[in-house]
């Protein structure tokens, strides 16, 4: 298991755990980051991580990506 920020670009990963406060976990769940869901890192730029989750591309901060374990 590793944080999403260390996942290789272009490889589909399965979310295994989401850390952080209940508010942070709820926010991530609201935008599609749920345990068991698949996510693909598209690119990392300017401290943000661009990911594909549920057929949408979403930019999240590096700090948020460190809370998502794949």
b/e code 30-54 from CB counts within 10 Å (16+ = b): eebbeeeeebbbeeeeeeebebbbe
3-54 tens-digit pLDDT: 999 999 999 999 999 999 999 999 999 999 999 999 999 999 888 999 999 8
Number of domains composing the chain: 1
Identify the CATH number of the domain in which residue 33 sits: 2.30.30.90
Range of the domain at 12: 4-69
What's the confidence (pLDDT) of residue 47?
86
Residue spans of beta strands (DSSP E) within the chain:
12-14, 17-18, 38-45, 48-53, 56-61, 68-69
């Amino acid at each position: 298991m590793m944080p999403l920020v260390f996942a290789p670009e272009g490889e589909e990963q399965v979310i295994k755990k989401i850390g952080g406060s209940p508010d942070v976990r709820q926010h991530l769940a609201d935008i599609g980051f749920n345990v068991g869901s698949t996510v693909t890192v598209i690119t990392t730029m300017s401290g943000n991580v661009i990911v594909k989750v549920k057929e949408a591309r979403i930019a999240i901060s590096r700090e948020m990506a460190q809370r998502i374990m794949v």
